[in-house]
Amino acid sequence: MLNSLTSGWTGTLADGAQGWWSYGWNWFFRNYGANPNAVRTDRLYMEIFWISVGWFVFLMAIMFYFVIKYRRRPGLPAPYSPSHNTPLELVWTIIPCIFLVYIFLQGFHAYIDKLIAPGDSLKMTLTAMKWNWTVTYPNGASSPENTLIGSDSVNFGGQNGSPGSRPVPIFYMPAKVPVHFNMISKDVMHSFWVPDFRVKFDVFPNRYTTYWFEAAEPDANAPYLKDSNGKEITTAQGKKIQYVDHFIFCAEYCGDQHSEMLGIIRIVPMDYYLAKIEEWNIEGKTPEEIGKLVYQSQGCAACHTLDGSKGAAPTWKDLYMSQQPTNAGTVTADDNYIRESIYTPAAKIVDGYPSNMPVFTTAQIDERRMQGLIAYMKSISKYSQHGDAKTEMKSDAKPAPEKK
């Protein structure tokens, strides 16, 4: 995971490090630019480097040659320095000019290439804020996934990070498709910096800036996506999913947690990307449907069952408004209790269960999703009061008896 920073991206691009200019690439870069625009930047960098080396060697060589050839010799008077030589001056103006014009054109072209997206690219909005990034996908969804990255170098790039580190959002992006970011800031100026993409663009509070990229497909050595239990994720067809991560940093000093303003662009196959953003799309869904979506997509399903069977955690069937025996006494599982159980699971531990429910943040489960979860639990509980009066009377709509 996060292999882009730890092991270097080993992708092979048709346009990769080839040609005289690419010699020494590894002195400067730990990996190849992860898309054609980035490779172009690397290439220009290496070309400028070797042009500079060539000129340096040439100038030093003629300097030493002249120093020796025209050194002061005893008995010879010092000659007058010629004040002007038009052919010579034309040569030493025009030849360097050709190099400079080449560098300018290449740089300008590469810069414009990074700004102007192909017409058929996927349009997304990248929003910067103190101190986080969010991406809004073409269908209006945004990614609820994130990961922890430890501050110690051992865990940096590790799967779990160390406690206390900030959750870093993960933005799934399809491979081999142009993706176009429209970038805006909610507060101050930030700077979108993805070293693997060789890109750094300012993000302003009052003006859109744009950037686009077309990421290469994860190569054969790329890691496989795993779920929170370490099991490899497969598509409906049973195919495992390879991915590559690229870090986003903020390169504008924007406040005290500026250095922790990270994000991850995760390149996955197109079909997996489409499934993901559909999964996260809560627009046009009822609260119950949103709750069910959260149950499936945030990993609640790994521990909680819906059918009353006792799993690693209490079932959600008939949970809402039931009486829950906990280490803080018996409580009614109402909206506030459910909310507390999700944001601060350790506050009250249900009898007979370990305290190993993960903490969820308001960024992972926002208010709409929380309402969705509560509505969903309501819909599968016989204690909820929201059915019509008749059915309620028929069913035993009394609170459950206390633990016997």
Burial of 352 from C-beta contacts in 10 A (0-12 / 13-18 / 19+): exposed
Q: Does 254 bind Cu ion (CB under 5 A)?
A: yes
Mutual angle of helices 287-297 and 367-379, in 10-degree steps: 100
Find residue 248's DSSP bridge partners. 263
Q: Of 5, 349, 397, 400, which one interacts with ligand HEC (CB under 6 A)?
A: 349
Q: Does 355 bind ligand HEC (CB under 6 A)?
A: yes
Q: Does 302 bind ligand HEC (CB under 6 A)?
A: yes
Closest to 350 (Cα-Cα) out of 311, 382, 389, 386: 311
Q: Does 353 bind ligand HEC (CB under 6 A)?
A: yes
Helix (H) / strand (E) element for 343: namely helix 335-343
Q: Does 146 bind ligand HEC (CB under 6 A)?
A: no
Helix (H) / strand (E) element for 324: namely strand 323-326
Q: Does 40 bind Cu ion (CB under 5 A)?
A: no
- Which of 165/191 has CB closer to Cu ion? 191
Q: Of 180, 198, 304, 378, which one interacts with ligand HEC (CB under 6 A)?
A: 304
- β-sheet with 167-174: strand ranges across: 146-148, 167-174, 263-268, 244-250, 190-194, 199-203
Q: How far apart are CA 62 and CA 376, in angstroms?
A: 81
Q: Does 261 bind Cu ion (CB under 5 A)?
A: yes
Nearest 10 degrees: Cα torsion 275, 279, 282, 288: 140
Q: Of 241, 350, 375, 380, which one interacts with ligand HEC (CB under 6 A)?
A: 350
Q: Which of Cu ion, ligand HEC, none is residue 19 near (CB under 5 to 8 Å by kind)?
A: none
DSSP result, 349-363: PBTTS-S-PPP--TT
Q: Which of Cu ion, ligand HEC, none is residue 303 near (CB under 5 to 8 Å by kind)?
A: ligand HEC
Q: Which of Cu ion, ligand HEC, none is residue 333 near (CB under 5 to 8 Å by kind)?
A: ligand HEC
In whole angstroms, the minimum distance from the beta carbon of 330 to ligand HEC comes to 11
Interface residues toward ligand HEC, by CB under 6 A: 294, 298-300, 302-304, 312-314, 319, 324, 333, 338, 341-342, 345, 349-350, 353-358, 360, 373
Interface residues toward Cu ion, by CB under 5 A: 190, 250, 254, 261
